[in-house]
Amino acid sequence: MMKSPEPPPGLTGMALLGNPKYNKSTAFTAAERDRYRLRGLLPAAVSTQSMQIRRVLENLRRKAYDIERYVFLMALHGRNERLFYRLLIEHTDEILPLVYTPTVGQACLEFAHIFRQPRGFYLTPEDRGRIAEILENWPHRDVRLIVVTDGERILGLGDLGANGMGIPIGKLALYSAFAGIEPEHCLPVMLDVGTDNRELRDDPLYLGIERPRLRGEAYVSLVDEFVAAVQKRYPRALIQFEDFLTPNACLLLNRYRERVLCFNDDIQGTAAVALAGVLAYCRLAGQALKDLRVLFLGAGSAATGIADLFQTALLEAGLTREEARRRLWFVDIHGLLVKDRDDLLPHNLPYAHDAPRLDFIEAIGFVRPHALIGATGAPGTFTRQTIQTLASIHRRPLVFALSNPTSRAECTAEEAYRWSEGRAVFAGGSPFPPVTLGGQTFHPAQANNAHIFPGIGLGALAAHARRISEGMFLQAARALAAQVTDKDLNCGALFPPLSEIRRASLPIAVAVADQAWKENLARGDRPDGLEETIQSMRYNPWY
């Protein structure tokens, strides 16, 4: 791991205590207090970092609401980032749901009302023509990872405008904690192009521009200028697109993916996590991947992104493209996606089949899927009838309720287990507690993108990749699935524990970087000890 940083010359006294990168607060030793002119500025006792974590946890746990805990943790991040990241790494099960899903959804809803400290970079249509100049205002020259959103489709909550900045901030916190990307190499970006959420625009505390959303060519040209400015100032930075509405998500990914180091986590990260879960399910159910039939409820960018990666895996398993697509079926609000419908978007067309028009329940009986994957943002759409119909077809059906936050899930873990008489294999996009049914305790899997995107980003940066290919996502999914133990599977868990994300990210990064070299997408020569090289790059928050 990287060595813990020493304060630069001249950073002393209160300025040092106010610098989150170098501040250790009460953990400064007696010698350091003399060296950095801190004598008299701190209480006499010297704390270890472990003692500081104990103090933080005591204060955190006395908060009444998760949103208060979120505000508390963001304040900690703003004054002592190493303490924040060590806390997140060592207490992942407790802290991750507070700094990311599901609490980040509430934080975005209330972002303008809980705003404390500027963090991240904001661009508006008024900045057109000088984005490169404005980007010079960011204090760090060596940015390597950018998460950008326009706030139009925040989780399952819809258009939250500039309030959506909570998502890039949260994602990059996970990159630093679990991939080990140095915090100052990370840049959260909000493309504040307005909002069509009238309630937000009428909120006197709203912090974004108060206008309807920018659309069409004006929108695309603004994103073009932003991407070009990033390429100029940070030529090797990875851009992660996050929480764009489906048409723009697909448009931007297709526009840049072949010429810029970028990916869309909602489309490609979700796909890799879902595929990893399905690969683990195949082990549990004794089912060959090439024989699997999958039915998606929801036909947006996330669902079709999953299908695209599944198709790649099925092609590698020996199927033809037509055979692979016949394993993948979709239902949207108007029913089964079939060829005689005239309301399909371009990303839906490859998965429209010659079949009768059917509603959701009819489609389950017609397709007879082994796996049901929900990506709707519509809670309760996996009804009792849905689960019972699926369970009547297969002994161990797979149920993925991927919509976030928890309040938007297609069904709960308890519903999936109870309605299937304990035979369903369940994974949710948000955490669900263990469920005891008939004397057996089930541990629901969480298909959290945090399992995969930190490793993907770290691997791409380690290889100095020119772009990220489908093959790299496929290898990431396989590397994640390979870390699921028989013990995990016996508990019904299709992913490693979330507490293992930092450890699990390393083999994923190695697989992604290795694939980059295999596809001639890496810059420079492959090091002999790739795993050791990547491990040595990782940020160390201990002191």
Specify if 74 maps to a domain.
Answer: no
Q: Look at residue 343 and tell me if it is in a domain.
A: yes
Q: pLDDT digits over 40-85, tens only?
A: 999 999 999 999 999 999 999 999 999 999 999 999 999 999 999 9
Is the pLDDT at 95 greater than 60? The verdict is yes
Active site residues: 100, 171
pLDDT confidence bin for 404, thresholds 50/70/90: confident
pLDDT at residue 504 greater than cutoff 80? yes
Same domain, 478 and 380: no
pLDDT at 377 over 90: no
Q: What is the DSSP letter of 340?
A: T
**Cβ–Cβ under 8 Å, residues 491 and 287:** no
Domain that holds residue 274: 268-447
236 close to 464: Cβ distance less than 8 angstroms: yes
Q: What pLDDT, on a 0 to 100 scale, did the predictor assign at position 416?
A: 97
In a shared domain, residues 276 and 322: yes
Which residues 6+ apart lie within 8 Å of 195 measured at CB?
Answer: 151, 152, 159, 160, 161, 162, 201, 208, 212, 213
CA–CA dist 192, 130 (Å, integer): 15
**Is residue 69 a part of any domain in this protein?**
no
Coil, helix or strand at residue 191: strand
**Shared domain check, 476 and 414:** no
Q: What local confidence, expressed as pLDDT, does residue 213 receive? A: 98
Query: Do 295 and 329 belong to one domain?
Result: yes
Phi, psi for 456 (deg, rounded to 5):
-65, -45
Q: Cα(48)–Cα(55) distance, rounded to whole angstroms?
A: 11
**Which of 447, 479, 496 finishes a domain?**
447
Q: Which residues are registered as beta bridge partners of 122?
A: 190
| Domains held by the chain: number | 4
Residue 191 to residue 16: CA distance in whole angstroms: 32
Mean per-residue pLDDT of the chain: 95
306 and 175 co-located in one domain: no
Whether 167 and 212 share a structural domain: yes
Q: For residues 337 and 58, give the distance between their C-alpha atoms in angstroms, rounded to a whole number.
A: 52
Task: Determine the pLDDT at residue 510.
Answer: 98
CATH code, domain carrying 370 = 3.40.50.720
Q: Report pLDDT for 445.
A: 83
Whether 77 is covered by a domain: the verdict is no
Q: Are residues 276 and 383 in the same domain?
A: yes
pLDDT by residue (tens digit) across 527-539? 999 999 999 999 9
User: At which of 427, 447, 467 does a domain end?
Assistant: 447
What's the mean pLDDT in 473-481?
98
Query: What pLDDT is recorded for position 2?
Result: 57
- pLDDT, one tens digit per residue, over 406-436 is 888 999 999 999 999 999 999 998 889 999 9
Residues 435 and 467 in one domain: no
| 49 and 542 Cβ atoms separated by less than 8 Å | yes
User: Quick one: pLDDT at residue 345?
Assistant: 87
Q: How confident is the model at residue 1 (pLDDT cuts 50, 70, 90)?
A: low
Single out the residue of 404, 460, 458, 455 nearest to residue 431, CA to CA: 404
In a domain, 530, yes or no: no
Burial class of 288 by CB neighbour count within 10 A (0 to 12, 13 to 18, 19+): exposed
In a domain, 32, yes or no: yes
Question: Of the residues 206, 228, 260, which one is the last residue of a structural domain?
Answer: 260
**pLDDT at position 3, please?**
62
How far is it, in rounded angstroms, from Cα 418 to Cα 226? Answer: 49
Query: Does residue 78 lie in a domain region?
Result: no
The verdict on 10 and 30 lying in the same domain is yes
Query: At 240, which helix (H) or strand (E)?
Result: strand 238-241
Q: Are 431 and 319 in contact (CB under 8 A)?
A: no
Residue 395 pLDDT > 70, yes or no?
Answer: yes
Does the structure show a pLDDT above 70 at 92? yes
pLDDT at 106 over 70: yes
Query: What is the reported pLDDT for 301?
Result: 84
Residue 472: pLDDT band with limits 50, 70, 90: very high
Q: Are residues 341 and 296 in the same domain?
A: yes
CB 519 within 8 A of CB 469: yes
Phi, psi of 59 (to 5 degrees): -70, -40
User: What mean pLDDT comes out for the span 480-509?
Assistant: 93
Q: Which two tokens stand for residue 350?
A: 């490859």
d(CA 104, CA 97): 8
Cβ–Cβ < 8 Å for 536, 80 = no
Question: Once rounded to an integer, what is the mean pLDDT over residues 176-191?
Answer: 97
Complete DSSP assignment for 379-417: TT-S-HHHHHHHHHH-SS-EEEE--SSGGG-SS-HHHHH
276-284 mean pLDDT: 95
Contact 460, 261 (CB under 8 A): yes
Task: Answer yes or no: is 182 within a domain.
Answer: yes
Instruction: Tell me, yes or no, whether 115 and 224 share the same domain.
Output: yes
Mean pLDDT along residues 239-252: 95
Of 100, 78, 90, give the one whose Cα is nearest residue 453.
100
Q: Check whether residue 411 and residue 505 sit in a common domain.
A: no
